[in-house]
Structure 1
């Protein structure tokens, strides 16, 4: 095996590291550039936006790999309010193309997801129209048929946010967060004509996952790194393709599309960190939610902004918190959050809610409008019979209550990434200080009793 093939084909973590940070980077960067490419980019979300931005920035340099760049993405979505029409959704890549003046081609709504009737456009150049050289795909969401791939002289490459063959499919970033993975990666692969993410791999680069990072933040970071890796591949495309390797089908793991039900909180099984991972993995797509009984109706309550306690700043609101069943709500006067107990003795803090049929509210308003007004004590994992009293919480078989020491020190190590918009009010007292005072008072009472004797 030649030296180049070892660089281009990472079979273990060490060689992947060399590709990302050492020999691989030097070997690719010193290779001669084949030519400048006219690129048609297919992409939608923040990951694709990061890749697209790197390609655009390269096209503006004095020695670019990209000579011309255009975008293909889903069309804008609008919603009507009477006679007024309001923009509901716009692809992240489309927002970037508007900023930088990149020509954009929208998939017809009827054709979206299938690309059956869609025709490959020509590159709009200063001297007239010319065919594109290559297609680049990143988080596009639609399957590209063989006829489109074949129309491009250099076919198509895909930038995928995982270390293929692990996490093929539509949600590799979300799945990595939910599985509490410590690392993932970026793969540059050829677009397979019949399967998603099954093409030959040209290059890979590892990516460390920081605790507390959201799907959106992670996508932005990985998109930037993916764009840089892609440019290195394009600088030496012929050799990289010659040394590409087939994916090991025995190691394939697949991801799936998520929905609103995947964000429902199960208080019987989910720890504080489990709920936090749901929040981070589905950030700005699906909001963690639970049921709240309000008189004789069951309301869906969404946790719009939430996070974990910050060590000594947020000791438990109630001293008897370990005696409270999971889902119990606690609030301290003049604080902007509501505390929820979890099955592992942990707690989550929610600073912003939206109750079904109502406007968003903060922790103070939620406490006044629901906890105090309706005497609501806890959230429910599932619906209950409204004609009967709420059944008591049932702990899972074999449940063991955590120790006070473990529960108090559970959040001593802060998250590596700050949760956007999460800024809970510090408590006005420290439980440890309060417990110390009680111990001191008990000692004084014991000493007083001994003195009397």
Structure 2
């Protein structure tokens, strides 16, 4: 038997992968992700540094581009920042770090891995408390005495679970309203995100995992969240709900089966004396303060300065009393 050694040439296709060169110190190449006014606080600060400092050498922007332009879209175009429409993220351009503020979309792992230092996120709470879309509203509505901002590295598949780089606390006063806290946290988040960029490798190295204890969630605000449950809620809880929704939505209830909006809600120091036989939700008119007094679940009151009846104009408490309250018997004067 004879064996022949035959050499057959085989063509092998070799793919050339471009080498990516990442920085180990500033200035950084940055891709920013954001959609709203809260994220605009950070983008403005980044853009100021981009033009005036040695911290940032490249600043591109990703947002959800729509016909009704959002705050990020408007700002990026005004200042001629390169703008990309999510999910169309630039594939070949090299970035050192991604920065996410109030973006609202989960970023897949394949994109996160494009960044040498991953993607950082500003979250408006002291994580792991209030993970989710509406941390500021939930913090005020639940009567929290403090909140803050947290800088984390994002992970794929879940929101707000990444390692913590920085945190800063902020007190919540008894009368703090959402717009004021929103601005305070937006500005603070921008400040601390920039602080993390000043010594990014060190902050990444020392990042700590979130505790699995004391985790709470802050989901998107629904109609049920805005609806006052007069039997279950104390006067303080009703007032907290009003403060939490201020500038965004308003607490709602019903009058004689018709949906209503309740505005200018305040705590009332009066104690129930002549309402022993009344149930929570009972409404009376106070001539002295020219407001409505509503009985809450703990037998204390809130006052209401104006009311919005469905498909009607907003009216003050006096007009509501004259036009609606006085036209029904005392035993029927309830918000439900």
Pick from 55, 64, 78 the counterpart of residue 74 of structure 1: 64
Conserved in 2, the CA contact under 8 Å of 1:300 and 1:356? yes
Residue 93 of structure 1 deviates from its aligned partner by: 3.8
Partner of 2:203: 240
Q: Which has the higher helix share?
A: 1
CA RMSD across the alignment: 3.0
Residue 110 of structure 2 corresponds to residue 119 of structure 1: no
Residue 136 of structure 1 deviates from its aligned partner by: 0.7
| Distance (whole Å) between structure 1 residues aligned to residue 267 and residue 220 of structure 2 | 27
Deviations 1:385-414 (A, max 9, x none): xxxxxxxxxxxxxxxxxxxxxxxxxxxxxx
Residue 37 of structure 2 corresponds to residue 37 of structure 1: no
Taking structure 1 as reference, are residues 92 and 182 closer, same or farther at Cα in structure 2, changes over 3 Å only? farther
SS in structure 2 opposite 1:217?
A: helix
Number of aligned residue pairs = 312
Q: Pairwise mapping of residues 330-341 of structure 1 onto structure 2 (< 5 A)?
A: 330-333=284-287, 337-341=291-295
Residue 134 of structure 1 deviates from its aligned partner by: 2.1
Q: Pairwise mapping of residues 404-419 of structure 1 onto structure 2 (< 5 A)?
A: none
| Distance (whole Å) between structure 2 residues aligned to residue 351 and residue 371 of structure 1 | 14
Q: Pairwise mapping of residues 152-301 of structure 1 onto structure 2 (< 5 A)?
A: 152-293=115-256, 298-301=257-260
Pick from 315, 318, 327 the counterpart of residue 364 of structure 1: 318
Residue 142 of structure 1 deviates from its aligned partner by: 0.9
Taking structure 1 as reference, are residues 133 and 121 closer, same or farther at Cα in structure 2, changes over 3 Å only? same
Conserved in 2, the CA contact under 8 Å of 1:157 and 1:189? yes
Taking structure 1 as reference, are residues 153 and 350 closer, same or farther at Cα in structure 2, changes over 3 Å only? same
Partner of 2:334: 379
Deviations 1:47-92 (A, max 9, x none): 323322332333343x242334343333447xxxxxxxxx6xx644
Q: Which has the higher strand share?
A: 2
Partner of 2:21: none
Taking structure 1 as reference, are residues 341 and 333 closer, same or farther at Cα in structure 2, changes over 3 Å only? same
Residue 115 of structure 2 corresponds to residue 146 of structure 1: no
TM-score scaled by structure 2?
0.80
| Distance (whole Å) between structure 1 residues aligned to residue 65 and residue 334 of structure 2 | 39
